[in-house]
Amino acid sequence: MLEELFVANLGIIAASRIEPGAGLVAITGETGAGKTLLLGALHLLRGDPARSDRIGPRGDEARVEGRFVLGDDEVVVARRVAAGKSRAYVDGAMVPAKLLAEKLDTMVEIVEQHEHVSLGRESSVRRLIDGLLDASGVEASSNYRDTWERLIALRVDRDQLGGDARALARELDLARHESREIAAASLRPGEDAELKAALGRIRHAAEIIESLAAATTAIEDEEGALDRLRLALDRVRSARDLDPSLQPFVARLESAISEIDEAAADLRAVTESIDHDPGTLKSMEERTAVLGDLKRKYGATVDEVIAYGTAATERAERLAALAARAETIDADLAAARADAVGAGEALAEARRRAGKALTTDAVDLLRQLGFRDPVLAVEVSGGPPGPHGADRITLSFASTRGLTPGPVGRVASGGELSRLVLAVRVAAGVADAEVVAFDEIDSGVGGATALAMGELLARLAAGRQVFVVTHLPQIAAFADTHFVVERVADSAVVRQVAGEERLSELSRMLGGIEESAQGRGHAAELLALAGERKETGR
């Protein structure tokens, strides 16, 4: 349960810390005092989306912290909300907000003030029903998901086929032609750059040979560079014999002579290797033309052409598979649709069982809340296969059997809707959570009905923690712990009330007068009556 809650700069709440305790926790206060902000804090702690308009005027961020006991473990979660961003923490370490949802979403249930609207939506009713599926129903739901995913995959295949076999055949022929044309060229990565350099060499072979031969002659002929360097080396060696410090110059000249001698040999080898055969030139020019044609069609470089050829081969293989698939796709689609319909019927039947269980329990709760002979029905009718099943789900209600049941939002009054939300959510398993919060679901309720609602909430709170934001003293009187949110100027503070302070708050709620002796007497009677009913209900 939630052991401790701290809220700072959340709306008009400046800073408040509460320790709720187990059982039923009532939160009351004047209209506009900020009661529902405490449940907004719970929303933030369980990872729900953060709204920057909830940041109060006393700083740039709102801060919420909660200390929860989960079995034998204790965990502290926190959320900070600033303009355009929020940060979440677990035990002091920053975490994604979705981790809070994974950790607390099933532990904390919040029933909103206007949740009756969701009871008129098929998707919301379906979620409630699916939460009550038995073991075979869960299996049916899993089977349906599998069949639906297969049907969707087949539809994707069909859409890729496009329904035009001739267009597919043309595309396949083109992909195969491109793949074969590029493969036939036996391209090598970087071949175009190499060929360009080689062509430049062979086209100017005569000029290159002449220049290299002249360079070699200048180096090796009598009175050439080598002879002059050797003469210089002899003179330096003679000087070195007289002055040993000149040895480094001897070494450098020896190295230069060796390097130039090797260069001359390499120049001769290059000169002899240059091919200036007209046949070689022609074949290289023809290869250049082939590469140029391929690059014009498929890429700016040979490397790009090779990549295009690989993609064309893969595309041809995929299209060939699709072409073969076209022969069986219609039959496979028909079989998949039939499977989805069959799995959908099994799931619909499981939902009918769950809906019957939900309405049976909810009707019993509605009777406890003052309805004499209510009617609540979940209708599961057949429909075309869809993402969530092959059915249509509606929730119908009538306050008494003499009336014709209809959609919840059309036939129920405000007070009826409040009780209906409570009964349906309790029957749907909200009590499975360790912390349950109800946000002003008592709209339109009063008198004996309010007492019945308070008694039901008190029973629900046995063994768990239940928060209820309420304006009804009949409900607040059943609370094990009572907090009041009070407006002081532009801020709100939260304080726990007990004893005389609690009598004053209940008196205010009863008649709007805190210090009325008669009102306090009524409040004391109400507390006593609630205590008796709680004892009887245990």
Q: pLDDT band at residue 146, thresholds of 50, 70 and 90? A: very high
Q: Where are the alpha helices (DSSP H) in 329-413?
A: 329-368, 408-411
Model pLDDT for residues 511-523, shown as the tens digit of each residue: 766 667 777 888 8
- pLDDT (0 to 100) of residue 141: 95
Q: What is the pTM of this model?
A: 0.63
- Cβ partners under 8 Å of residue 521, min gap 6: none
Q: Is residue 61 part of a domain?
A: yes
| Average pLDDT, integer, range 404-412 | 79
The one-letter code for the residue type at 457 is L
**Within a domain: 80:** yes
In a domain? residue 92:
yes
Residue 538, pLDDT score? 53
Rounded Cα distance between 134 and 294, Å, is 65
Q: Which long-range contacts (CB under 8 A, 24 or more apart) does 174-181 make?
A: 175/312, 175/313, 175/315, 175/316, 175/319, 176/316, 178/298, 178/308, 178/309, 178/312, 179/309, 179/312, 179/313, 179/316, 181/294
Tell me the average pLDDT of the chain.
Answer: 86
Final residue in a domain of this structure, among 480, 498, 516: 498
pLDDT band at 47 (very low <50, low <70, confident <90, very high): confident
Residue-wise pLDDT for 84-133, tens only, equals 788 999 999 999 888 888 878 678 888 876 666 677 788 888 988 998 99
**Among 442, 441, 445, 448, which residue's Cα sits nearest to residue 526?**
448
Contact 229, 253 (CB under 8 A): yes
Is residue 482 a part of any domain in this protein? yes
Residue at 424 is within a domain? no
Residue 406 lies in a domain: no
pLDDT higher than threshold 70 for residue 443: yes
Considering the domain architecture, whether residues 103 and 195 belong to the same structural domain is answered as no
In a domain, 124, yes or no: no
Query: Within 10 A of 498 (CB to CB), how many other CB atoms are there?
Result: 9
Q: How confident is the model at residue 444 (pLDDT cuts 50, 70, 90)?
A: confident
pLDDT range class, residue 425, cuts 50, 70, 90? confident
Based on its alpha-carbon atoms, the radius of gyration of the chain, rounded to whole angstroms, reads: 43
Rounded distance between C-alpha atoms, residue 508 and residue 525, angstroms? 14
Question: Contact, 232 vs 253, CB < 8 A?
Answer: yes
Give the helix ranges, DSSP H, for 27-119: 36-45, 97-104
- In-domain check, residue 226: yes
Q: Mean of the pLDDT values across residues 142-156?
A: 93
Q: Of 300, 324, 353, which residue is a domain's last?
A: 300
The pLDDT tens digits for 286-323 are 888 888 899 999 989 999 999 999 999 999 998 888 77
Q: Which domain holds residue 248?
A: 191-300
CATH code of the domain in which 55 resides: 3.40.50.300
At 126 the pLDDT is: 92
Q: Residue 263 has what pLDDT? A: 87
Say if residue 103 is in the same domain as residue 202.
Answer: no
| Confidence (pLDDT) at 151 | 94
Helix (H, G, I), strand (E, B) or coil at 32: coil
Please give the average per-residue pLDDT across 241-258, as a whole number: 90
Residue 206 has pLDDT above 80, yes or no: no
**pLDDT at position 502:** 93
- The domain total for the chain is 2
**Could you give the CA distance from residue 481 to residue 496 in angstroms, rounded to a whole number?**
8
| pLDDT tens string 450-497 | 898 898 898 888 888 999 999 999 999 999 999 999 888 788 889 999
Element (H, E) at 497: strand 491-497
From 251, 275, 300, the end of a domain falls on 300
Per-residue pLDDT reduced to its tens digit, 354-382: 999 999 999 999 998 888 899 999 999 99
Measured at the CA of 189, the angle between CA 186 and CA 193, to 5 degrees, comes to 110
Which pLDDT band holds residue 204 (cuts at 50, 70, 90)?
A: low
Interval 264-286: pLDDT, tens: 888 888 877 776 666 677 787 78
